[in-house]
Chain A
Amino acid sequence: MTTTKTPAPAKAPAEPPRRRSISEWWNNLSRFQQWIILLPLVALIFALPWLNPPLITTEPGYDFSIAMFDVARYCLIAIGLNVVVGQAGLLDLGYVGFFAIGAYVAALFTSPDSTLWKIPYLAAIPLAMAITMVFGVILGSPTLRLRGDYLAIVTLGFGEMVRLFADNVDALRGNRGFSNIGAPPGTRENGEPLFANFDGKPWYVLCVAVIIVILILAGNLERSRVGRAWVAIRDDEDAAELMGVPTFRFKIWAFVIGAAIGGLSGALYAGQQGFMNNQRFDVLTSVLFLAAVILGGSGNKVGVMLGAFVVAYVPLRFLSIAEWKFMIFGVALTILMIFRPQGLLGARQRLLTYGRQAYQRLVGRGEVVSSDTAMAGGKSLMNGGNGAPK
């Protein structure tokens, strides 16, 4: 469209021109146009469980539609955690806690094993999000004054506490768990429920739809004042504070929004499983979530989904060599970090609300996407990891 209009004033000479023009063309499109162009891809993604492509399929070994739901669930989790880690730069090692709370709320309000009153599953989802948000505030308000690694430890402790409470408090049924957790309404032709634990397809479609909505919302947030504040906090908290950004408030917001998405994915997880107990809310799971974000590229929404895909898919794909899967996973993590420390896709952020329009009017070309951010840029260990002024 506008690629050939005027030469860019500050064109980086090293960039190959052809690649440049494609990315520029892409950046020049409005998000609406971008989504239209992506439509075939989105359709393909939706159709994956039906296509069940050879090589990609996890069968025989693991039902492919359920595997794809697992992958989608991890993507959703990664997007939520990316708000906290990638955008606001808060290292959260206890994200599984929010995930667990969401799952437990869904179970408590829909499973016949619970003594609470019952509500429909679809009503339990917003409730799960609301309750995890409350927990986000409860955890965030005392701890977000801590910095960096201390925050990581406290969140790690929080995640463990959620798990241990689930273990110890009798109403949460520990290892006995909740059976027959609710699901969205709907029946098949043969009278079986549409949403059930033996078929991942409806759940997958639901989850991907939720992901698209969340992606649009998160994208809007990212290029709003809130998003800019997060990036400022991430890159230099003291400077942000000095410039008048109420850092604490925005950190809480990041935490709460991340928590809500975690709760949402937890509720979806509980619904799909139909049965849930305390067995998968440990630190290792939390670490896997974080690995998804960082592997894909903290701060890059597409990247973290890619990372989530790797983290969720690889173990299911290689079930047949189950003994080796964690080994493969560990080696992959280590090698990837050595050769692409910023993750598979580095952070790229558009920060201005009407950035595209503004850039076109001012310089006649697409928006410059900032790709040097906290991950790729500043605080490496080499040049003074502890050098951040206190």
Chain B
Amino acid sequence: MKEGFRQSMAWLHTWSGLLVGWVLFAVFLTGTAAYLKPEISAWMMPELRTPAPETPAEQAATAQALMDHMTRTAPRSPAWFISLPEAREPWANVFWRDPGAGGRGFRQAVLDPRSGEPVAARGTRGGEFFYRFHFQLHYMNVPVARWIVSFCAMFMLVAIVSGIVTHKRIFADFFTFRPGKGHRSWLDGHAVAAVLALPYHLMITYTGLVTLMFMTMPWGGEAAYRGDRAAFNTEVFGTARPARPAGVPAPLVPVGPLLEQASRHWNGGTAGRIQVQNPGDANSTIQLTRSDSERLSFNPQIMVFSGATGALLSTAGDDSRPAAETRGVMYGLHVGRFGGPLLRALFLLSGLAGTAMVATGCVLWAVKTRQQAAKRGRVGFGVRLVEHLNVAAIAGLPVAMATMFWANRLLPLDLPARDEWEIHGFFIAWGLCLLHPLLRRGRRAWVEQFAAGALLFGLLPLLNALTTTTHLGVTLPAGDWGRAGFDLGLLAIGLALAAIARIVARHRPGAAPRAKPGAGPGSRPGAKPDRASQPARHGEPVAAE
């Protein structure tokens, strides 16, 4: 029974992992990049130079300037959403609804963190693209894409739990990594990346599902609130209920005193977002939301004021009920926006470990299956397909990401829908990576794609120097560690990819006659077939057969 259970879990682990592996790899890598969303956006908008306001007085002045700008440009809009500039995001993002436009008519602009005037920043989605992509993909109907990602995340959870059951020697092999031993090394690498960051993997997968739970499991809320979404949101999150405009004009009160009152209420916390409904009307409301970088829980702390009189109408989120707070903490853990630079670095490291876990898992399948197929003397279509997709998904994605950065610097500034074209660039490059293994088989495809990624990433600081005035030659002497660090990080990624390409290229297939290069990068399938084929002795997950 015990052996049977473990065998069936091994089967489940292998196939649930393979089924969603490629999507998960992309989700993990872009999700990890999303920890640096503000930094990526800042790099992609080199026109933004003004530092964020620091003192409460400066912050209040900025907020007022933003409100004034919105009053001038969108007085008839039913709602404004303003995200205030912060140290990591020294610009203001504003959204409003244009009542004249068709559909929902959302408009968006980037405003200067001091003057509140629009900045002539190039059209780009910045880091927002990676963030969005990691839970709703692209070119797809948003709910459908979110369902796909939720489905994959659910399988991820299945793969993690079945993987723990399958792994017989978690403690005995805890520190074990044996490089240069073909299939054995892939298994070790897979286990090391999985086990040593296991708390993170479980946390990020589970909390990822929680972030989309109102979509995947809406029935509780639907039943309790009879489909009244607004009532649900008001009660759970404390957001202001949409009020009907009174039709009586009334100017908005200055926002400074409201910010001050909110800061007192939150024991010195600062507002991160301002939402205005029915601006210029007697029934207007101003909703202040506390900055989400200050708390672990993602349940927003909210204060709603009357826009006409400045009277406090309601507060929310100060002490959430246990269920809401549980969700809030999980959501907060997932997005990791509360942490300082250190915690972010640790999350980044664990995210990369997760990416490596998925990648090694996919490669392991290919290495192992090819070994078995070679024994039978026939390598089937399935193995070739998985190998092909592995190259495109794993080595191709960094190429695509780097291409987007190149497009950001090289596309003409006045190109219509420029931000979309940066993203098209990402997918065109990825598509080419998908075709490339048709021409170049096996190991060569791996090497070339990793090398392309290395070149593209490694030359980005140079491209930055040629196209902007915020390059390493300026930022290093000025001690601008934020910008310099990003350029150096790009260089480091380039070097890391180059190292991987080199390792893959230099690996010689073992002397055994069955050696078949190309099952995985740097794999040596023939290295020690005698050891590798004795699963019981070494306690490895037994492949499904």
Do A and B share a complex? Answer: no
Chain B residues at the A interface, C-beta cutoff of 8 Å: none
